[in-house]
Structure 1
Amino acid sequence: MTSKEVPDKNKANGLYFRDGKCRIDYILVYRKSNPQTEKREVFERNIRAEGLQMEKESSLTNSDIIFVKLHAPWEVLGKYAELMNVRMPFRPFNPFNAGAPCILVRCCFLNGHFIEINGRSRRSRRKIYYLHRRYKFMNRIEKQISRFRGWLPRKPMKLDKETLPDLEENDCYTAPFSQQRIHHFIIHNKDTFFNNATRSRIVHHILQRVKYEEGKNKIGLNRLLSNGSYEAAFPLHEGSYRSKNSIRTHGAENHRHLLYECWASWGVWYKYQPLDLVRRYFGEKIGLYFAWLGWYTGMLFPAAFIGLFVFLYGVTTLNHCQVSKEVCQATDIIMCPICDKYCPFMRLSDSCVYAKVTHLFDNGATVFFAVFMAVWATVFLEFWKRRRAVIAYDWDLIDWEEEEEEIRPQFEAKYSKKERMNPISGKPEPYQAFADKCSRLIVSASGIFFMICVVIAAVFGIVIYRVVTVSTFAAFKWALIRNNSQVATTGTAVCINFCIIMLLNVLYEKVALFLTNLEQPRTESEWENSFTLKMFLFQFVNLNSSTFYIAFFLGRFTGHPGAYLRLINRWRLEECHPSGCLIDLCMQMGIIMVLKQTWNNFMELGYPLIQNWWTRRKLRQEYGTQRKTSFPQWEKDYNLQPMNAYGLFDEYLEMILQFGFTTIFVAAFPLAPLLALLNNIIEIRLDAYKFVTQWRRPLASRAKDIGIWYGILEGIGILSVITNAFVIAVTSDFIPRLVYAYKYGPCAGQGEAGQKCMVGYVNASLSVFLVSDFENRSEPTSNGSEFSGSPLKYCRYRDYRDPPHSPVPYGYTLQFWHVLAARLAFIIVFEHLVFCIKHLISYLIPDLPKDLRDRMRREKYLIQEMMYEAELERLQKERKERKKNGKSYHNEWP
């Protein structure tokens, strides 16, 4: 291709200025009719003063829309790359053989030069180390599944290496860019030395610090976007993600096309993610998110398998369960009404189905599964630290520190008059006084407390709804609802709770944003961490408060027939079903988990798809039948949906809340890991498809870990141990059954435990109530004559209380105190045992793999050795030069 044809091709693809030479690094969009003309003019004039080149273009579909194309020339890129400590690949200087051709090696700075350490590039050594570990593990897996090759997809769990490019700029060591040492960096072409993601990041850094009005707070692109001066600002995608030609025969058109074929396509759901390419195109922060999501999904496989095994164990042992047998055969046991007046007496055998369903989740394997999941959470976090260390080494993030982060423009503008010396860099920087910071944190903490009280008030409203509607459903005309009033109450309460959760989430976002900006965090990472913590607290309490109520409060403080505890001295508190409260907890978790994930998946992909489809439809109607491919790239990207204003927050939050559901109440719902696994297999490709095809290209940014989310995961892991201990001890019937088997059953004192030892358990767990002792406002309208032909004299209820004719009527029995003591003992033993196992595993699993740690130590050792040798050589050269000049220095070393 001739030099004249290259600009013509560049102009055609919509990624360059009209001259076909200047690459578009950033796009700003505004409307002519917008009144903020003066601010834009000042802003654009200051942009030109910073050295950026600008070109404007009207939209092909709407002449009111103007696209401002920005290009950063080499001088501007070099200046700001040095200020931002952008790490770039370099050609090291070899002081021991200056005339020899230089190779890509591990190096360090010394006396203004790069010093060679060893003869293999750091990247290639990292790649060999990482691939060796991966393929050694995968070879073992493939040997086990080789017999099933007939039905497995082609090349399962492998990347298509032939379609992936060799990312050359990653195959060497990097260092912060320096214009003084520019001759050491590998610059084949100044136009391509900084890749597209880096160029856009540099331009965004400039735009965030350009003034649009004279004044200390009148700076930054974000403010212009918020006040409507500009409609949008984004870097361009590298072209279309589709091609007429096959990627295997003609290769990829661009990196976006390659990502779509090898990552975002639904047909490659069973393959590894090309994380290096994701990192190159979207940046390290997004790359780390997908690395974490892939690791989390892979770790869910053993948890889902064990959870399914626990459920199937319940299915296989259902016919042998003595408790469910007794419940189904108890036609002569009449239970007291579960609500005032309208709820009828009922046979215990009517809850046979619920007793069997409860056994599926509450069986002998539940305790084992709770311990397993607590250990699993620890193993997951510990091995993720090792995985993250390998990724950080592979992506050259080991040396990247938070000191390299820039101060937020809003912080600079707010505290520009107060400066102090940075103890690390030695440069003056804006400073926030301690008193000012404390006062802002106190106000923010008060706001958080108030919003949590709002959540508790919402839960209180759900409780009132449950206690009111259970009587309403009991008096319903439809027999189906009347006979299942408690299930109907629970189901509708969960759905209403879900709607309240969705509505409150909108309010939480605005409050969290206001409180975070009020705190004035110093850096972007501090802002993200503060905002993330607030939003997580709000949404976690919002999502789980009703679940905590059902698990630990429902049916626990209701009193007993004849002396019910009431809400506001009016409404009788809700009781558990005769089969127990665990079925309510399972319904709450199952419905919320399914609805939440379905809603999230729709909002993540369905909503952008509908929006983009509607935009294309309007364009076809207004612009005629011309195909979409005729539009320039900036027009195509403008018609896509913008990424969430808070970056990856929504993606992380969805997975973290799912992790909470998977671990916190897993003893009550063993199928939660399986549902999470199925969702995440879809989630990875759904997120990939969304990033590549439905969203504008996000700004690439660096990060060395997943930030504050790791600490939140650790907190959830600790909370899960406590909640599962209480679920098993308080919510399930595991402890009462154990006490009965060893103390009160037919095997008491024999040290045995089995189904034969549970004979008579149901009768022993029910107390007797004299019907004539009912309060007037709770006396049922039915007298129970339909059961025996005459009015009932006695009914039964779940509790351990003395009969009405005992010396202390309705007082607690000795069995109650034995069960209570066993529950408390179980909680203490379970928590201490599991925490000991967690700490032991955490201690035994090092944060760094041994091979990686040895390589890092080896590099450090070689750096010190070569620095010493280089200094020694410098002194020897100086000695020779002095000898030539006739100077004597008998006392000089060496």
Structure 2
Amino acid sequence: MSADERKPILLETVAPASDEIIPARPPPIGFEALQGDEILPPLPRAEESEAYNLDQEANAPLYRKSQYFDDGIRKIDYVLAYEDGKETSHEEQKKQQRRKRFEESLRNQDLQLEYSKKDVSFDRKTNFIKIHAPWPVLCQYAEILKMKMPLAENDMEEFDSCWSKCPNPFELDSDVVKPDPNYFTAPFNRERMEQFHIKNRDTFFTDAQRSRIVYEILSRAEFEDFGTERKKFGIKRLQGNAYIAAFPLHEGPYQSDHSIYASGPINDRHLLYEMWARPKMWYKYQPLDIIRKYFGEKIGIYFSWLAFYTNMLIPAAIVGLAAFLYGIFTMMTDVPTTEICEPNKAGDLIMCPLCDEFCDYWQLKSSCNYSRASYLFDNAATVFFAGFMSLWSVFFIEFWKRRQKEIEYDWDVSNFEDEEETIRPEFEATVTRKRINPINKTEEPYVPFWSKLIRYSTAAVVILFMLCLVIGAVIGVIVYRIVIIAVFAKQKVISQRAPLLTTATASLLNLIAILILNWIYKKLACALTNLEQHRTQTEWEDGFTLKMFLFQFVNYYSSIFYIAFLKGRLSGSPNDYKYLNNERLEECHPSGCLIELCIQLGVVMVGKQAFNNFVELLLPKILNWFQSRTIRDAQKHDHNRVPKQWESDYVMTELQPLGLFYEYLEMVLQFGFVTIFVAAFPLAPLFALINNIIEIRLDAYKFVTQLRRPLAARAQDIGVWYGILKSICIIAVISNAFIIAVTSDFIPKLVYKLEKSPRHDLTGYVNFSLSVFDIKDFPNRSRPLIHENITECRYRDYRYPPTSPYKYQYTIMFWHILTARMAFVIVFENCIVLLAWFIAYLIPDIPHGVKIQILRENYLVKEALFRAEATKRAKAKAEETKQD
């Protein structure tokens, strides 16, 4: 049969059918009303019958009819949309030519197309092309894509634990969210079709699988560039040009007038909205299997990881809150803080000015509140909590590895990247060199090593330049801090709060710089990744992710690292201050830099999450409201008109190709705040837990109600993010060790109690940690203009007094403390590393139950192959006997 003979008859919609008229109702308001126009009680699902014939069910709701061609039999698997321009223009002729040849290519692949012209659309300017993949096409591409389909029911016994028999308020209602049947699966093969568990051809392939198969054809369908003989292919090249949209359909409205508990869900979208996206379900488990079935494995794995991460935050948040409460309850009894706050003790000490010339001397007791706040984040519980979080990160990585293996098996993606993933169409289009693949012996494009070396080297140079630019921006913030603290210190009203105000304003400035630079990073990282010419989509996403995360890591964390490890350690002493751009480097407060680090963390972490929540939720709602105005205007003139499903979905916001990347990035950056700097901010896990509980429901609401249904892409795991998380855990151990040893006062206090305190307590510690300076030794540029009757002042350091022969040199105690700091870092890191190795050894990567099921499935696959061969031989012998 020729290609022309295989072409299906094209149907063209001219007007709504008479049975589509529904009783008049008040016009809806807003985009969400459009989604709820057909809020009806559930009817028998279309997928439960061999063919959903509208003639047999004239009263079927309109959204059901909108899922099918006009014949009511062929299901819509994908939709293309385009607008007509001026037919006389050269550009419009070019677009028409591209569409014509592209659609011919689709028909040559046996896809069936139906047109809905602009005359019957709501805006009277958008044309829609509905695409249906018939059964033979689905089977053909399921075999090409090596889709794993049900082979036999899972006959493995499940052992319920005692906990599973107890009532669990977090479980979803099993009467509403019914568990899917559990099957052993195998790669689909048309020759062995009878061995697969096919009850109904209409339901054998899910909507997500159907749309993925159609997209695979769309991404490789050819079209010729207008005026040339050069062939191009792929819907990506045409989208935004010849076509303005390409998307699979949602299954219908997400709301119903009837309770889901009484009548059941009208479709999977309604089920996800009621049991997943509603805020009242915040404490419930997620219906992950349904998420995977509706949105695909890639999105399902993201929500599985997010749920796992959120659950793991619960013990971390409890311990962090306990550490913070310990600081609150012991704050008033802390000896150094009491000495600072009491006038008759260290509070009367005169401190050296915070800036040159215009700053005055100040008494230590004026920083009483600042010292108490610092103690909340710098106490004995900090060390324990830092060690706990370092071990927590190890448990997180090891247990997620196990959970990931379970997901890979349950969702049939174990060998996706090695066996199932296809070459990127962009790679095939741009790479001209060919070679024979040594594995499958087929010719395919490839990039030689020397070309890869040049491309990767170019990308590395550009990345290095951008990192230098980021560091330059951080230095700019540091200069701002140096200048502004002098400005604040000169103001009598706010001089005592100069360090706090400087930190807060610098944090806001840093946040603004981060948000601006993010836009540049995205464009640059995308261009560099395309330059590297990655073979598969997973490789492309991994390369893009590494670049973006490296940018973001430096962007978000560099200023925090400066406060934690550099501030106050390069400023010098009053007799020899260090300067940058003719401005004196800033010092830490006598109570340390930990409170400033905490403020920086809070502003950046909370500010970033608030901005992201705005972008993720409010922006799509605003765009949807604006884009759906044409439908609302049309309904004002004709109240009986109800938008078809493809029209309702068309005006929704599209999930960007890198939309899921930003979801991961937000959470991984948060993971860095929670682990790398947790010693300075013990409440970070609690804030992260609260944010994630909200984040899950916001993301769910966005995916179900505000976005077009995304392509149900497959993925094996969280990709390169796993390696990034492991790297963050290693950095966290080192960072927390140095924060405790260098940034906090834990080690100096410990050394003082052991070496200097007669009662082995902290009485006199404040005086011990401050050195004496004779104001006559001030350099001219640093000497205050007004000094009254003051002869000496104090500053935070361990140096000999002016009366000593070793005037202003480091004391022996400085070297004792430095040695203790380094010893603590070494001991802390080695203990965590040994415990991490022991934990990794104890926890197997693959659960025992999953191993058994994998072996059982492999056995059944082999048995199916043997049966297929036996059947084949029996048929051959029967043919031979018949011929004889």
- Please state if 1:55 is matched with 2:118: no
Describe the SS at the equivalent of 1:180: helix
* 1:45 aligned partner, one-letter code: E
Whole-angstrom CA distance in 2 between matches of 1:713 and 1:319: 39
- Please state if 1:86 is matched with 2:86: no
CA contact (8 A) 1:342 1:475 kept: yes
Task: Tell me the residue number matched to 1:812.
Answer: 810
* 1:831 aligned partner, one-letter code: E
Say which of 695, 719, 738 aligns to 1:683.
695
CA contact (8 A) 1:367 1:667 kept: yes
Whole-angstrom CA distance in 2 between matches of 1:845 and 1:272: 25
Whole-angstrom CA distance in 2 between matches of 1:52 and 1:679: 45
After superposition, what is the alpha-carbon deviation per residue over 1:608-637, rounded to whole angstroms, capped at 9, x for unaligned?
Answer: 122223334564346526669811111111
Describe the SS at the equivalent of 1:69: strand
Task: Tell me the residue number matched to 2:769.
Answer: 765
Moved more, 68-77 or 697-706: 68-77
CA contact (8 A) 1:217 1:413 kept: no
Task: Tell me the residue number matched to 1:69.
Answer: 130
Following superposition, the deviation at residue 31 of structure 1 comes to 1.7
Say which of 750, 758, 782 aligns to 1:746.
758
Task: Tell me the residue number matched to 1:832.
Answer: 830
Whole-angstrom CA distance in 1 between matches of 2:520 and 2:742: 34
Following superposition, the deviation at residue 867 of structure 1 comes to 8.8
Say which of 438, 460, 463 aligns to 1:423.
438
Following superposition, the deviation at residue 312 of structure 1 comes to 0.5
Whole-angstrom CA distance in 2 between matches of 1:646 and 1:583: 36
Whole-angstrom CA distance in 2 between matches of 1:871 and 1:452: 59
* 2:771 aligned partner, one-letter code: S
Task: Tell me the residue number matched to 2:797.
Answer: 799
- Please state if 1:595 is matched with 2:607: yes
- TM-score of the pair, normalised by structure 2: 0.88
Q: Which runs of 5+ in 1 are unaligned?
A: 91-104, 106-120, 143-154, 748-752, 786-790, 885-894
Say which of 448, 453, 457 aligns to 1:433.
448
Following superposition, the deviation at residue 871 of structure 1 comes to 12
Task: Tell me the residue number matched to 2:20.
Answer: none
- TM-score of the pair, normalised by structure 1: 0.87
Following superposition, the deviation at residue 660 of structure 1 comes to 0.5
Following superposition, the deviation at residue 207 of structure 1 comes to 0.9
Whole-angstrom CA distance in 1 between matches of 2:870 and 2:634: 74
* 2:238 aligned partner, one-letter code: L
- Please state if 1:850 is matched with 2:862: no
CA contact (8 A) 1:11 1:19 kept: no
* 1:88 aligned partner, one-letter code: M
CA contact (8 A) 2:78 2:131 kept: yes
* 1:780 aligned partner, one-letter code: P
Query: Between Structure 1 and Structure 2, how many residues are aligned?
Result: 812
Say which of 434, 443, 459 aligns to 1:444.
459
- Please state if 1:720 is matched with 2:732: yes
Task: Tell me the residue number matched to 1:4.
Answer: 55
After superposition, what is the alpha-carbon deviation per residue over 1:144-179, rounded to whole angstroms, capped at 9, x for unaligned?
Answer: xxxxxxxxxxx6211111012453xx5322222222
Describe the SS at the equivalent of 2:347: coil
CA contact (8 A) 1:11 1:18 kept: no
Following superposition, the deviation at residue 195 of structure 1 comes to 1.6
- Please state if 1:210 is matched with 2:210: no
After superposition, what is the alpha-carbon deviation per residue over 1:698-729, rounded to whole angstroms, capped at 9, x for unaligned?
Answer: 11122221111111110000000000011001
Whole-angstrom CA distance in 2 between matches of 1:876 and 1:206: 35
- Please state if 1:17 is matched with 2:15: no
Moved more, 13-22 or 521-530: 13-22
Task: Tell me the residue number matched to 2:41.
Answer: none
Describe the SS at the equivalent of 1:173: strand
Describe the SS at the equivalent of 1:846: coil
Moved more, 74-83 or 312-321: 74-83
- Please state if 1:711 is matched with 2:770: no
Describe the SS at the equivalent of 2:290: helix
Following superposition, the deviation at residue 402 of structure 1 comes to 2.4
Whole-angstrom CA distance in 1 between matches of 2:850 and 2:860: 15
Task: Tell me the residue number matched to 2:370.
Answer: 354
After superposition, what is the alpha-carbon deviation per residue over 1:303-341, rounded to whole angstroms, capped at 9, x for unaligned?
Answer: 000000000111111122111011112332011111122
After superposition, what is the alpha-carbon deviation per residue over 1:109-146, rounded to whole angstroms, capped at 9, x for unaligned?
Answer: xxxxxxxxxxxx22x63xx63xx56x644556x5xxxx
* 1:183 aligned partner, one-letter code: E
Whole-angstrom CA distance in 1 between matches of 2:481 and 2:251: 55
Task: Tell me the residue number matched to 1:30.
Answer: 82
Say which of 662, 666, 674 aligns to 1:662.
674
Task: Tell me the residue number matched to 2:483.
Answer: 468
Whole-angstrom CA distance in 2 between matches of 1:424 and 1:305: 52
CA contact (8 A) 1:362 1:733 kept: yes
Say which of 191, 210, 213 aligns to 1:180.
191
Task: Tell me the residue number matched to 1:316.
Answer: 329
Following superposition, the deviation at residue 298 of structure 1 comes to 0.6
Moved more, 335-344 or 762-771: 335-344
Instruction: Write the mapping of 1:237-276 to structure 2, written as runs, cut at 5 A.
Output: 237-276=250-289
Following superposition, the deviation at residue 854 of structure 1 comes to 3.7
* 1:308 aligned partner, one-letter code: L
Moved more, 287-296 or 338-347: 338-347
CA contact (8 A) 1:27 1:69 kept: yes
Whole-angstrom CA distance in 1 between matches of 2:640 and 2:464: 51
* 1:67 aligned partner, one-letter code: F
* 2:479 aligned partner, one-letter code: I
Following superposition, the deviation at residue 684 of structure 1 comes to 1.1
The percent of aligned pairs where both chains have the same amino acid is 50
Task: Tell me the residue number matched to 2:380.
Answer: 364
Task: Tell me the residue number matched to 1:111.
Answer: none
* 1:813 aligned partner, one-letter code: T
CA contact (8 A) 1:217 1:410 kept: no
CA contact (8 A) 1:10 1:16 kept: no
Following superposition, the deviation at residue 487 of structure 1 comes to 1.1
Describe the SS at the equivalent of 1:163: coil
* 2:235 aligned partner, one-letter code: L
Name the CA shift for 1:525/1:577 in 2 (closer, same or farther; >3 Å).
same
CA contact (8 A) 2:54 2:72 kept: no
Task: Tell me the residue number matched to 1:563.
Answer: 576
Task: Tell me the residue number matched to 2:23.
Answer: none
Instruction: Write the mapping of 1:124-135 to structure 2, written as runs, cut at 5 A.
Output: 125=156, 129=158, 132=159
Following superposition, the deviation at residue 19 of structure 1 comes to 2.1
Say which of 461, 466, 473 aligns to 1:458.
473
Say which of 536, 540, 559 aligns to 1:523.
536
Instruction: Write the mapping of 1:325-724 to structure 2, written as runs, cut at 5 A.
Output: 325-329=338-342, 330-416=346-432, 418-476=433-491, 479-568=492-581, 570-617=582-629, 619-621=631-633, 623-624=635-636, 630-724=642-736
* 1:614 aligned partner, one-letter code: F
After superposition, what is the alpha-carbon deviation per residue over 1:813-846, rounded to whole angstroms, capped at 9, x for unaligned?
Answer: 1111111111111111111111111111111111
Following superposition, the deviation at residue 394 of structure 1 comes to 2.1
CA contact (8 A) 2:62 2:644 kept: no
RMSD: 2.6
